[in-house]
């Protein structure tokens, strides 16, 4: 999956609905040479997704991971929880184009997947696009800086 020279360090997390897909994602990431920290959950017993999203996002915010991959039933809850962290730019992707554009234009550092909407093959394509697309910088940097405003935006 990652074709670049830098080995991604991935903080992986899921809730109970994401647990079945997490096993496949973990295997894909490890086969691709990523270093993975698995923050759980470790079975399909009901849990609260924010608890697991926050664990993975703290790794990215603290610099102990370069990216987070978060999986729940739809991906929506995990992406909302992740984007509560000022350092996180999480994209919910159901297909590779969104993953690619979020990396290129938004420098996304977290990816949310919906296990009830995304099969293993689609997840592999999405992960490939996410981890192999570089951030373009340039005109996008100014916009990213505005995601966490320090003052009221100009009108």
Closest by CA to 39, choosing from 75, 63, 21, 15, is 15
Residue 141 CA to residue 126 CA, distance in Å, equals: 23
Q: For residue range 75-100, list pLDDT tens digits in order.
A: 999 999 999 999 999 999 999 999 99
**Domains of the chain with CATH codes:** 9-145 (3.40.1400.10)
Is pTM, for the whole model, over 0.85? yes
The question of whether 72 is a catalytic residue gets the answer yes
pLDDT in tens, 107-143: 999 999 999 999 999 999 999 999 999 999 888 988 8
- Mean pLDDT in residue range 140-155: 76
Task: Look at residue 7 in the predicted model and tell me its pLDDT.
Answer: 86
Question: Could you say which of 72, 85, 90, 128 is catalytic?
Answer: 72
Q: Which residues contact 4 (CB under 8 A, 6 or more apart)?
A: 131, 132, 134
To the nearest whole number, what is the mean pLDDT of the chain? Answer: 93
Going by pLDDT thresholds of 50, 70 and 90, the confidence category of residue 5 is: low
67 is catalytic: no
Distance CA 143, CA 4 (A): 25
Mean local confidence (pLDDT), 25-46 = 96
Catalytic residue among 54, 94, 105, 140: 105
């Amino acid at each position: 999956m990652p074709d670049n020279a830098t080995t991604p360090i991935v903080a992986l997390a899921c809730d109970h609905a994401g647990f079945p897909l997490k096993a496949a994602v973990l295997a894909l990431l490890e086969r691709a040479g990523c270093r993975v920290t698995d923050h759980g959950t470790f079975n399909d017993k009901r849990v609260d997704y924010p608890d697991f999203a926050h664990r993975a996002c703290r790794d990215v915010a603290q610099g102990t991971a370069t990216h987070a991959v978060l999986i729940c039933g739809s991906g929506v809850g995990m992406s909302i929880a992740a984007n509560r962290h000022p350092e996180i730019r999480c994209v919910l992707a159901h297909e590779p184009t969104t993953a690619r554009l979020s990396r290129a234009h938004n420098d996304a550092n977290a990816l949310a997947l919906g296990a009830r909407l995304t099969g293993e093959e689609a997840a592999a394509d999405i992960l490939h696009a996410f981890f192999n697309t570089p951030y373009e910088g340039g005109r996008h940097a100014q916009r990213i800086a505005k995601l966490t405003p320090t003052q009221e935006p100009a009108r």
